[in-house]
A and B are shown apart, each in its own frame.
Chain A
Amino acid sequence: MSAAAHGHHDLGFFKKYMFSTDHKVIGMQYLITGIIMAFLGGYLAVKFRSQLAFPELALLSGSEYNSSVTMHGLIMVFWVAMPILVAAFGNFLIPTMIGCDDMAYPTLNMISYWLFLVSAFVAIASLLIGGYGGAWTLYPPLSANMAEASGGGAYVIGKVPGLFSGGSLIITAVALEIIAFLIGGLNFLVTTINMRAPGMSIWDLPFVVWMIDLAVVVFMFSVGPLVAGAIMLLFDRTLGTGFFDPNRGGDPILFQHLFWFFGHPEVYVVLFPSMGFVGEAITTFSRKPLFGFKKVIWAAIVASILSFIVWAHHQFIAGIDPHAAVFFTIFTVLISVPFAAMMFSFIATLWKGSIELTSAMLWALGFIITFLFGGVTGIYLGTLTSDVVFHDTYFVVAHFHYTFVPITIFGGMTAIYFWFPKFVGKNFSEFWGKVHFWISFISFNAIFLPMFIPGTAGQHRRIAGYTEATFPAMAVEPYATIRIISTVAFWVLFIAQVIWIIHMIVKFYTGEKAVKNPWKANTLEWTCDSPPPHGNFATYPTVYRGPYEYSVPSRDSDYWPQDEKG
């Protein structure tokens, strides 16, 4: 960041880059931490995918395998998707898009990042002492009792693993991370409500700001039960209480309810910002207003409300009342309606547009296609009767990654390519951006599309190797070959991300300086310098119109910035 070049006074290295209260520096800190954690999570996947494809090499033992898949899941959800999509881009975009100089509470913002960094270190510490191996859902009594750090461990009644075990540390890390995001999220909401530029009504807010704020609201409403559950679980592990262990008078299913009450809305917490990025890219590169802007936002609000009454679709066969399952399946299937409406709006935005296939646009279109597939495969799982077959199989793994990878990687890359010139201030190479997209798009589909086949046959999850001795029906063709295809495709996907990071670092140092508004977009952040200096705007903007006035017939120019008079 070259914010200092325009700064009022020299702050010194530590104040400027480490303990900065500038929202752009904090956003960059979140982004870089998230990317580092993504490579860590990806490395774990390299390990367990290789074991899975070639079980005869015996690369990982049963507990090492369990620990790798568990830590991969936890890291990718809590330390990659959340910081990159919500925190990093929330920090970059909210102040610059609403036309103010910084967050409402800059110091709290800094504290939020540092708490997050501590939580990341605690998570890495947990990984270093062997991690936790009972799946990212942390189901007790396994999680309440498992003593060995490696995630192996036989169940012994009343055995207390203590605080310094992989499981206890990762639960602590999740709790810390949640506190960090509560502080950050509070800041986002206060800033959006109070600090908008003169003339900016809530319907003049860009789509992505709406979506990030909506994500924060959903997060705040859903996270309470998870924190309660995590602390009770931590007590079970450290003090020997028995909240979730039936052998000590507890109830294991209670934890599942607390977890999924958060766990399902959490999907939308990361999805909404991503849809926001994609919406911005699609309108800008189609030169068209976002189709049905208000309706899309109302659809998102309806989906947010519904997201609180669908959580037990993760528990259809967990031993809950089968009558209750009928209630939850109805709302789960119905939630497809608002999401279909949102997707149709994106597609309608392309209609009769003037489409330019930049890297960011490709990633956005890739998001729509892959996420749609994730959405339609969700119907199989949300329908309770077919879920009996698919629950805890590779069908779920494939479906889940067809939602989370579009959200995190496709949505995240849309945002990174779209705003790189603005917040880094350098141009990147469109050629390498497109190469990165096509390799990633093809290899991603090659990993997860074939996975539906063993999933349909019932290949169950979290198994270090399907050997002829234990699961002969899964050890035969075509399943064995499909596992190898997925693994090789994953190596390719991983290497593509290495190429991307090299491209980004090279352009950070050598790229030519970006202009103010390279995409000719309307929203306020494009009126700042690239990168925006400390304080963002030379003169604070006034807003005269909505964010998506593209190709207005009465004008020669095909865009109309929000702050342009007349």
Chain B
Amino acid sequence: MRLMGKFLAVFTLMLLAVSGYSGLFFLDNISSYGQAIDNLIILVTLIVMPAFVICVSLIVYFVIRYKRREGAEKALYETGGHGSKLAKKILIIDGIVLALDIVILFVAIPTWMEMEVKKVPTQGVVDVRVTARQFDFDFHYAPGPDGKWFTKDDVKITGELRIPVDKKVVLHMTSFDVIHDFWAKNLRLKQDIVPGRTISRWFQVNKSLIEKIHGFKATDWDTKVNVRDVISNGNVMTSILADDIHNAKTEKDKKEAKEDLKDAKEELEKVYKKNLLGKRLFEIACAEICGSGHYKMNAWLVVEKQDAFDQWLKKKVAVNAKKYEVVAHHSSQGKSISFPIK
């Protein structure tokens, strides 16, 4: 019984440690199936980490306990062959390993079925076509009166995925050139984008999860989030980083470039704060190496309430109808395609 009590105490401590670990190091989850994934990770941790700790403790204990000493008796002659009691015990432990593996699979596979295998919803969803290219994401909406793709009222926008809350969003992803990857950390959604095929994945951002984010206020829904602001400030900073410091010939130039960088950083921080980074503005990254500019290939996810989203789209349609020539659907065979300018 005493052993049992000790075991329970240790297990509780580990549970606390693990939940502390996950709370510290997961980025805030905002998608409807993200919590299931996070829970699975915690479950796996609770299974494998005690196993690891037990094995290492045994090794350390054996090394200390059975260290060779003067005049000590000979080692035990134990081959672990037929009739060995220890071998039978180890067989039971192998069985436990197998059982725990099966537990993990039983928890993991249903979530996978929900996320990936279940047919992608088509009714009452927001469809977005995503085209990845070196080194940007283009997002393409088909709103407007006709609701059809590749007509004049389509909205195409680079580097910004704006979506309504509490509604299923379906991404139809394809690549213009090489393999990219759509990695929205807060959505727990990652998908390679492969040229020559279109892969559809869905997600839904829950309002309740957004409002649970630390420091989020109800009034934050009304703030206008301006991604152009973020991108232009970011571009300034990237150029200072990559070129000026690298190319600076004299120490003075280098010092100036570094000071510029410091200023740009402060400026950017203000912009992020204004744009509610981590509250309604989230980063999207390309997670598959795609060439020399891979290190800066990103996009931004903006979450809006439904009415604000509709208004935004309406405004974009009006602007776009004037500004852009809509390009016919490009086939995967590489016909020419043009993208709207930022």
* Chain A residues touching B, range: 35 or more
CA distance A355 to B66 in the complex (A): 6
Q: Are B112 and A325 in contact (CB under 8 A)?
A: yes
Chain B 103-134 interface mask (CB, 8 Å, partner A; 1/0):
01100110110011100000000000000001
CA distance A558 to B81 in the complex (A): 20
Name the CB-closest residue of A to B49: A376
Known A-B contacts A379-B104, A386-B41; A470 and B25 likewise in contact (beta carbons under 8 Å): no
Q: Is B199's beta carbon under 8 Å from chain A?
A: yes
Name the CB-closest residue of A to B117: A322
Q: With a CB–CB cut-off of 8 A, which chain A residues contact B194?
A: 246, 252-253, 318-319
A135, A368, A472 — which one has the most chain B CB atoms within 10 A of its CB?
Answer: A472
CA distance A388 to B36 in the complex (A): 12
Chain A residues numbered 309-325 whose CB sits less than 8 Å from any CB in chain B: 317-319, 322-323, 325
Q: With a CB–CB cut-off of 8 A, which chain B residues contact A389?
A: 37, 41, 188, 190
CA distance A352 to B26 in the complex (A): 43
CA distance A317 to B41 in the complex (A): 17
Q: Shortest distance in angstroms between B94's beta carbon and chain A's nearest beta carbon?
A: 5
Q: Are B68 and A354 in contact (CB under 8 A)?
A: yes
CA distance A395 to B290 in the complex (A): 20
Q: With a CB–CB cut-off of 8 A, which chain B residues contact A344?
A: 90, 93-94
CA distance A337 to B199 in the complex (A): 35
Q: With a CB–CB cut-off of 8 A, which chain B residues contact A146?
A: 291
Q: Is B210's beta carbon under 8 Å from chain A?
A: no
* Interface stretch (choices B150-158, B277-285, B314-322): B277-285
Chain B 46-69 interface mask (CB, 8 Å, partner A; 1/0):
011101100110110011001110
CA distance A551 to B37 in the complex (A): 51
* Chain B residues touching A, range: 35 or more
Q: Shortest distance in angstroms between B252's beta carbon and chain A's nearest beta carbon?
A: 17
Q: With a CB–CB cut-off of 8 A, which chain B residues contact A393?
A: 287
Chain A 329-342 interface mask (CB, 8 Å, partner B; 1/0):
11001101100110
Name the CB-closest residue of A to B101: A333
Known A-B contacts A289-B78, A294-B81, A333-B101; A135 and B55 likewise in contact (beta carbons under 8 Å): no
Q: Are A388 and B75 in contact (CB under 8 A)?
A: no
Q: Are B108 and A458 in contact (CB under 8 A)?
A: no
Q: Are B185 and A152 in contact (CB under 8 A)?
A: no
Q: Is B191's beta carbon under 8 Å from chain A?
A: yes
Q: With a CB–CB cut-off of 8 A, which chain B residues contact A251?
A: 196
CA distance A1 to B230 in the complex (A): 65
Q: Are A66 and B294 in contact (CB under 8 A)?
A: yes
Q: Shortest distance in angstroms between B88's beta carbon and chain A's nearest beta carbon?
A: 11
Q: Which 4 A-B residue pairings sit nearest by Cβ, starting from the closest?
A: A246-B196, A152-B292, A292-B80, A469-B234
For the complex with contacts A141-B177, A289-B78, A473-B282, 17 further pairs of A-B residues with Cβ separation under 8 Å are A61-B246, A61-B292, A135-B289, A139-B179, A152-B292, A153-B292, A155-B291, A252-B179, A287-B74, A329-B108, A347-B62, A356-B68, A376-B51, A386-B108, A392-B287, A471-B283, A548-B79
